[in-house]
Structures are given as C-alpha cells and as structure tokens.
Amino acid sequence: MNWQSDLNVIETVFVPSLERWYEYHKRDLPWRHTRNPYYIWLSEVILQQTRVAQGKPYYERFIAAYPTINDLAHADERELLRLWQGLGYYSRARNLHQTARHITEQLNGKFPETYHELLKMKGIGVYTAAAIASFAFGERVSVVDGNVYRVLARVFGIDEDITTTSAKKTFAALAARLIQQASDPATYNQAIMEFGAIQCTPVAPDCLLCPVQQQCVAYLTGQQNRLPIKAKKAPVRNRYFQYLIFKNGDKIAMRERTDRDIWQNLYDFYLLETDEPKPMLRDLLLPDSVNELVQQGVLSTMPTGAMQLLSHQRIQAMFYVIDLPDKLAGHLPTGLKWYSQAMIGDLPKPVLIANYLEKSFG
C-alpha cells in the first residue's frame, strides 16, 4: 500500500469507526454526565498525570467540598492543598484556586466559553482549553493528549518525535482535519482519548479487536511497539533529605515549605539536604544552634528511611526523631512551629511526610 496516497481513505474511515466503538465501550465516568464547564475543568486538571481510578475519588471529594466555582474561589488554600494531597503537582491546585478567583471576581462568575478565551486563564493550556470548549460548549476544536498522540501515530504511521515542535504541528493539523468529520466534536474527542486509554494502550494494545485494524499503518507494518516515537526522558535526579523531627510531649515541630521547589506551601520537618546518603545523625553538618538542640535532646527512635519517586526526582529521606525537654521547646529553628497531632492532620503534606506520620505516629 502507498501510505501517503491512502491517508485520505484512512481519515474517512477513522472518525466514524471510533465514534461507533465509543458508543459501546465507553466507561461510565461522572464528568461525562455534565456540561458544567467548572466540573469538566476540575476533572481535566485532576486527571493530568493521574490515572482515572486514582483521580475519580478526588474529583468526587472536590465536587462535594466545592460544588460551585464560587465555593472554590473562596476556599482556604491550606484546606484546598490538604484535599489535593496525594495527587502531586501541587501547582495545579494553586492554579485552580487562582483561576477560580479570577473568574468569580473579574468575570462575574461567568466561565469563558470559547477555546481562545479559555487559553487566557492561568493554568489552562492548549489541551485543557480544547477539552472544556468541546465538552462543555460543543466547540469544534480537537484535543491532543498522550492518548491521542499514540493513536494517531500508530493509525497514520507518523514517525516524528512527538516531543518536537514540528511533530506537534503535524499532529495538531491532522487532529483538526479529523474533527471536522465528527458528528459531534465532544463525543469524538472523548472517543479518541478513550480509545487510547483502553484499546490502543502503550503496552500490548488490543489490535485483534481493533475497529481500525485494517487501516492502521502500525498494525499492518508491525510497528505498534515503535510508535509513537518519543525522545528518552531526562535522567531522574537523586536528592537526599535528612529530616530532624523535633518532639515535645505530643507536639511535633513542622514548617511550611515556602521556597520555589517541590511541595511548595506543604508542610514538613526541619530539613537538611545533602549530596549523598547520610544514615547516621552524627554525619550531618548542622548549624551550631540546631546541633545544640540535637545534643541536648534525646534521639528517641532508630532512624528510619523512606523514598518517593517524582516525575524527574527520586527523594531518599532519613528521619531522626529528637525529643526536646520543655526548657528547649521555645528555641526551635526559624520557620518551625509546634503542632498537636490533631492540628497536623489538617495540614497539607507531601505523601512522603503523610505516610511517615501515619506509620510512626498514627
């Protein structure tokens, strides 16, 4: 087959085939039962970098806690981040909050209704704007996410690196042509993303029962495992966190992370970051004032370790619990404050910290 000359034929078969497939195979998900742009926006942001099974309960909790965009706009940021705890990429939650405030205060609560107006909102990029515009308002604009890249690359045999600007233009142009043939843009966008999520999967795609099997270039040429082409990810960076957990009775000293780093505005303990693992407390080069607290305190438990893998970082942490006598309770390092167990439960925390607290003090 001359693939280039037959691409038009593939295009005409592709769209109706996916729409029919979607009618019978779509999952029953709560955000598919609404045209409310706020709910759709919330679901799309939660599902970025998050599997549906993990994201669904978060979506339901957010809708219960903040049923309207006005409720979200007036939410307490600490409570918002605590509710987001476990999803990671906390800038998503902060952008949600800021954009909800903007829509409520500057746009009189009226959600932008077009793709181009949505793009003006903080934290709403090309994909999310297209999803909201098509799902909520029926605008004929195509969504292109990881699932769509994979489906289009395989079916149409596109061997360009999807991380490059030129490839993104190629895929965007193809997606824009395809959606013109759709009977309903919202249904088609849902269909192609769903098809990539459960049929044309990254590993072991179900080619045997694929409705476009005989049009799929990757299937007909045995390139399912090769396509899409994507440059290798940057190597994961190792970081070594040494946490000193100062205790006094039932209180624990914690601090809010305010630097522009991972976990901004979340709470953890006194932290010393080192260039390599430091399994022994005596190996840490601490400031004199902190070292004095350690010397006068009591190492109450054996040091324990934990690890959390982020998108491009591997956090390897050691935890040292130091019991301080009452006379030193007022001499905490700058930024630390005492919190009771009940108060700590209400603080937004990284998963690494939340899991450690649950295991050690829960």
Residues with a catalytic annotation lie at 44
Q: Report the alpha-carbon distance of residue 228 to residue 150 in Å, rounded.
A: 5
Burial grade of 323 (CB within 10 A; 0-12, 13-18, 19 or more): middle
Beta bridge partners of 241: 273, 317
Q: Which residue has the tokens 């070292």?
A: 291
Task: Tell me how far CA of residue 216 lies from CA of 60, 170, 198, 219, 232, in angstroms.
Answer: 37, 18, 17, 5, 25
Alpha-helical runs (H) found in 3-125: 3-25, 37-46, 52-65, 69-73, 77-84, 91-106, 115-118
CA dihedral 78, 83, 86, 88 (to 10 degrees): -60
Q: Report the alpha-carbon distance of residue 347 to residue 339 in Å, rounded.
A: 10
Q: Report the alpha-carbon distance of residue 316 to residue 309 in Å, rounded.
A: 9
Of residues 233, 231, 245, the one with CA closest to residue 314: 233
Of residues 239, 245, 271, the one with CA closest to residue 258: 271
Q: Report the alpha-carbon distance of residue 158 to residue 30 in Å, rounded.
A: 34
Beta bridge partners of 253: 338
Of residues 245, 35, 239, 17, the one with CA closest to residue 131: 35
State the pairing for strand pair 237-248/313-323: parallel
Torsional sign, CA 335, 337, 341, 342:
negative
Of residues 47, 84, 51, the one with CA closest to residue 65: 84
Mind spelling out the 3-state secondary structure of 55-68? HHHHHHHHHHHCCC
- The one-character DSSP state at 33 is G
